[in-house]
Amino acid sequence: MHSTEAASAFSALGSASRLKVLRTLVRVGPQGLRVNEIQQRTGIAASTLAHHLKVLCDGGVIEQSRVGRLTLNQACFDRLEELAAFILSECCVDNE
């Protein structure tokens, strides 16, 4: 992962509300949630939630897919693991 990709993803996480949404999606696992379910679990207003979901999607940390007329939102677990690996990749190298 390049620094610019990581910066984009971390930037998407730069809001307490977006972290709340992402953690909600992580808790439910790969099946994800519909928008109204996220709204119920987080208490975030629909218009604000739509903005946060777009930012998270653009940052590559969640995916959205259509199931009929509904939008399903899922955490991108592979991407989140890459971000964790990126941030920890140089852990303690200055101590060697």
Question: How confident is residue 37, by pLDDT bands cut at 50, 70 and 90?
Answer: very high
Mean pLDDT, range 63-89, rounded to an integer = 94
Rg (CA), the chain: 15
Strand 62-67 to 70-75 pairing: antiparallel
The CA-based dihedral angle spanning residues 26, 47, 16, 83, taken in that order and rounded to the nearest 10 degrees: 50
Question: How confident is residue 93, by pLDDT bands cut at 50, 70 and 90?
Answer: confident
Whether the model pTM is above 0.85? yes
Query: Under CATH, to which class is 3-88 assigned?
Result: mainly alpha
C-alpha to C-alpha distance for 6 and 85, rounded to whole angstroms? 10
* pLDDT over 80 (residue 33): yes
Mean of all residue pLDDT scores within the chain: 94
